Amino acid sequence: MTAKTTKTAKPAKTPPTRPANARARKSAITKARKQSGSRTTLIIGAVVAVVGIALVAAVARGGNNSSIPDRVPASPAVVAQVTSVSPSVFSTVGVGTATSAPQPISSAPLTTNGKPRILYIGAEYCPFCATERWAMVLALSRFGTFTNLQQTQSSSSDVFPNTHTFSFYGSTYTSKYIVFEPVETETRTGKPLETPTAEQAQLMATWDVAPYTTQPGSIPFMNFGGRYVTTGATYDASVLQGKTAEQIATALHDPSSPIAKGAVGAANTMTAAICKLTNGQPANVCSDPTIAGIMAKLG
Amino acid sequence: MSTQSFSVFFATLAVACWAGTATALVLAYLHRRDPESGAGVLYGDLSRVALWIAFAVAMTTTLGSLYYSEIAHFVPCKLCWYQRIAMYPLSITLLVGALRRDRLVWWYVVPVATLGSVISIYHTQLQAFPSQHSSFCTTTEPCTIRYVWEFGFVSLPLMALSAFAVIIALVLIARSAPTEP
């Protein structure tokens, strides 16, 4: 009975407002949770909206892709101009403003089918390769013929952006005197293009180092028959800045233009190195006093 | 979608990350001044979901970098690899942290993300001034080339930096998340 009395008495001792407070508190917590939940939904909604906006921007702007194609077949007019620079221009320019000449190395001769082999490793994005290709096409065209040369531009986001140039990718070169082996490793946007063979990579690893370069592994890298190497551009890349391929090709015929002084000068040093490999063949090129003079200095 | 479209998508998200980082800083300031204010309360709500958002950012960045190397075939340079090394584990760490509602996950995330940020800053300035001849770069795997350049300022290392920045901000905000579910 006592226990019963105690039990019934207990609610009476409790203040009458307490259950109401608990209910109110519970209700307040529920309300706060609901509000918090809706704000959390708002935050997540904002994140989803941002992703949606990014998608819309991608579709709108990405679809309007005005980027330059990797390469196009070279303009026959440009190729004709570059491969028809007169001997008098080569003679007048001499070494011009070429900043370096092929450096002699001591290694086994590089040959293919008995012909001296010239290895080039570069990439389409590389602005210095873009610079060097003008001189290479000039020099190599004196010993043979290119077909299917391509035109491209260097990377739009590197130094000397969008330098107009040729690409050797997909081209062929025929010559009585030499074999030309070009490797373009990447496109102008950095996509893989051609992989050097193990032998080519080994040649680069062996000779694209000090003292021949301050930056090991740098491109463009050229090996002339195992007797000479060049790394990097051998004339000032800035002379080509802002010029179209047509403008560059035209300027090559003017021996007083900075482009001719650079590209033709570099071509003459390459020509002299190749003449060393071919034992002075062809005579009409290698016996030119300008070339003979450079050959004497090459070592 | 083309690579260009993906680049615009990721660049837009990178800009959003900067906006998110700035908003988080403002909210943190307002919360500190008056936790009961609207901004202060919003800060509290953000702290509840901050780890999940940070995880989403880390995972998107990881997938984005894999897209560029495996699908778009952009060759990652040495500095890119260091940033990847900092970012990839964050995807896992932040997922586990978010699942466990671990407010202390910032202890593991902030040092790695800070290191990643420093590398991203160095890489960004190297691309802006490529004549420095950094010993990290080789011409076959250049770190000076901007494979992506959107809106006139967003490059790949800047995208990484924006992700690291917002992740740091979010895990620090998650510290003040209430312990109750």
A-B Cβ pairs (cutoff 8 Å, strict): 107
Token pair, residue A17, equals 């407002």
Could you report the per-residue pLDDT of B40-83, keeping only the tens digit for each? Answer: 888 988 999 999 999 999 999 999 999 988 887 777 888 999 99
Q: Give the global pTM.
A: 0.59
Token pair, residue B13, equals 């998200």
Interchain pair B53, A126: CB under 8 A: no
How far is Cα A218 from Cα B134, in angstroms, rounded to an integer? 13
Please compute the mean of the pLDDT values over residues A16-34 and round it to a whole number.
Answer: 65
3-state secondary structure of A126: coil
Q: Contacts of residue A54 in chain B, CB cutoff 8 Å?
A: 8-10, 12-13, 16
Instruction: Provide the pLDDT for residue A28.
Output: 66
Could you report the per-residue pLDDT of B105-131, keeping only the tens digit for each? Answer: 999 999 999 999 999 999 999 888 876
**Residue A15 binned pLDDT confidence (cut-offs 50, 70, 90):** low
In contact, A163 and A240? CB cutoff 8 Å: yes
**Residue A90 binned pLDDT confidence (cut-offs 50, 70, 90):** very high
Interchain pair B1, A61: CB under 8 A: no
Q: Which helix or strand (DSSP H or E) is residue A65 part of?
A: none
Please compute the mean of the pLDDT values over residues A261-276 and round it to a whole number.
Answer: 97
**Residue A8 binned pLDDT confidence (cut-offs 50, 70, 90):** very low
DSSP state at residue A186: B
In contact, A65 and B1? CB cutoff 8 Å: no
pLDDT over 60 (residue A16): no
**Residue B4 binned pLDDT confidence (cut-offs 50, 70, 90):** confident
Segment among A159-173, B137-151, B166-180 with least mean pLDDT = B137-151
Q: Please tell me if residue B49 touches chain A, with a CB cutoff of 8 Å.
A: yes
Q: Contacts of residue B48 in chain A, CB cutoff 8 Å?
A: 36, 40
3-state secondary structure of A192: strand
| Optimal mutation site among B1, B2, B3, B8, interface A, most CBs of chain A within 10 A | B8
B137 to chain A, minimum CA–CA distance in Å?
Answer: 9
**Residue A290 binned pLDDT confidence (cut-offs 50, 70, 90):** very high
| Optimal mutation site among B23, B47, B137, B145, interface A, most CBs of chain A within 10 A | B145
**Residue A98 binned pLDDT confidence (cut-offs 50, 70, 90):** very high
In contact, A164 and A102? CB cutoff 8 Å: no
- ipTM for the predicted complex comes to 0.71
